[in-house]
Structure 1
Amino acid sequence: MELHLLLQQQQSSPRGRCVGRVDMWVDFDQIGWDEWIVHPKRYNAYRCEGECPTPLDESFRPTNHAYMQSLLRHHHPERGSCPSCVPTRLSPLSMLYYENDDLALRHHEDMIVEECGCH
């Protein structure tokens, strides 16, 4: 089962370097899924926020592509775009819900941001 979630965002952190995750709460009651999702009723999925510097260094866990993109941007700003601050490691979320009138416990991969980096 693939989950397409509407999101309830917490306060944004000030714009800065891509250094970590910020709160992003998903509330199943507010999106009308509370009738079939038993647990959790809400969870913090987090999101990545911030700017990726040019040029990048290894502390931002860039892909080789992002590293090359940042070098191009550094030397020729008109020719390249900045890499994006995105999730680089995610963890699963265990959910208890009704599926075809039966109670099911499923572990959904890639639901919670654990680390951010520049890609």
Structure 2
Amino acid sequence: MTSFINFTTLHIFFNLASQCIIEDGNEKIDNCFRYNFRLRNNEHLLSADLTLKTIPELYGRNLTFVIYEVRPYFGEMTLFDILHITELNRQAARIHFEILDKIRNWGRKTSGSNIKMLKFEIKLDGTEVKLHEVLNTFPVINLAYIVQSTYSEPLLQTCDDTSPCCLKQFYVNFTELGWNDWILSPPGYNANYCTGQCPYNENSEVQRILHSAKTNDTAFFISQPECAPRHFVPLKIVYAVSHRDIRVTTFNGMSVLSCSCVA
């Protein structure tokens, strides 16, 4: 039986100062931000993007962001990602980078600190600059995740056409489709679809009634149950009609959240 699934978007914010303090208190790292969250056992990430909002004066310029993950105790830094933007345009003033693979294991710790720290190094046309010279707000991480209400069916199970009816995750990337020049947010979404096997009802009494009905009425047809969507959620997008005309709209039924067998 497919459990009911809820969907929400979580905005994880940062400390107000763009500075990270290492746990021993002896080191401070500039252009660094702290993110604090933990995923429960029944919460599963669907998408994650890093949002950077640039100042208007940068149109036509080239930007490079080198991002490091900083360990909270010793200040050790490892490369998190490198992001390149060529000839920044007006529609790219709010930039979204997909980082799901980078943070998939964040928040899964059962003990210890849930603090994650990211340090930013920025180059404008090849010259290193300060964060406030290119961004007019601090970096934000946006998460979308599914909350599974029961534990009877693992969300991330192997799901194919030979499995019992299940939800197959399918991510639509607007950049790969070439739509990122007019869809400003989100960078993509989990459309998902249903697949798998649906057996006939195995209850003997139900089978007897159906068989009797079929025998007494030659026109009676018992259809094979099919795996189909049960719950949907809408998708809100921010899109550009022109450089000066930015709009927000919501499309219903865009993302499948759960599946069930229907005849």
Deviations 1:21-79 (A, max 9, x none): 1210101111121110001111111111111110178xxxxxxxxx99xx57xx89xx6
Cα 1:56–1:35 change in 2 (3 A) is farther
Identity of aligned residues (%): 31
Q: Give distance in 1, aligned partners of 2:202 and 2:254.
A: 27
Residue 94 of structure 1 aligns to a residue in which SS? strand
After TM superposition, where is structure 1 displaced by more than 4 Å over at least 4 residues in a row? none
Question: What does 1:23-102 correspond to in 2, within 5 Å?
Answer: 23-55=169-201, 71=210, 80-99=222-241, 102=245
Q: Give distance in 1, aligned partners of 2:184 and 2:177.
A: 14
Please tell me whether Structure 1 or Structure 2 has the larger radius of gyration of its CA atoms.
Answer: 2
Q: Which has the higher contact order (CA 8 A, sep 6+)?
A: 1
Amino acid in structure 1 at the alignment position of 2:227: C
Among 157, 160, 164, the alignment partner of 1:17 is 164
Gaps of 5+ in 1: 1-11, 58-66
C-alpha displacement of 1:104: 0.8
**1:8 matched to which residue of 2?**
none
Cα 1:56–1:107 change in 2 (3 A) is farther
Amino acid in structure 2 at the alignment position of 1:99: V
Amino acid in structure 2 at the alignment position of 1:89: H
Q: Give distance in 2, aligned partners of 1:32 and 1:95.
A: 15
| Superposition RMSD in Å | 2.9
Amino acid in structure 2 at the alignment position of 1:82: Q
Gaps of 5+ in 2: 1-157, 216-220
C-alpha displacement of 1:13: 2.3
Cα 1:23–1:37 change in 2 (3 A) is same
Richer in strand (by share): 2
Normalised to the residue count of structure 2, the TM-score between the two structures is 0.31
Q: Give distance in 2, aligned partners of 1:86 and 1:100.
A: 38
Number of paired residues?
A: 92
Q: Give distance in 1, aligned partners of 2:171 and 2:253.
A: 15
Q: Give distance in 2, aligned partners of 1:47 and 1:41.
A: 19
Amino acid in structure 2 at the alignment position of 1:23: Q
Q: Give distance in 1, aligned partners of 2:202 and 2:239.
A: 43
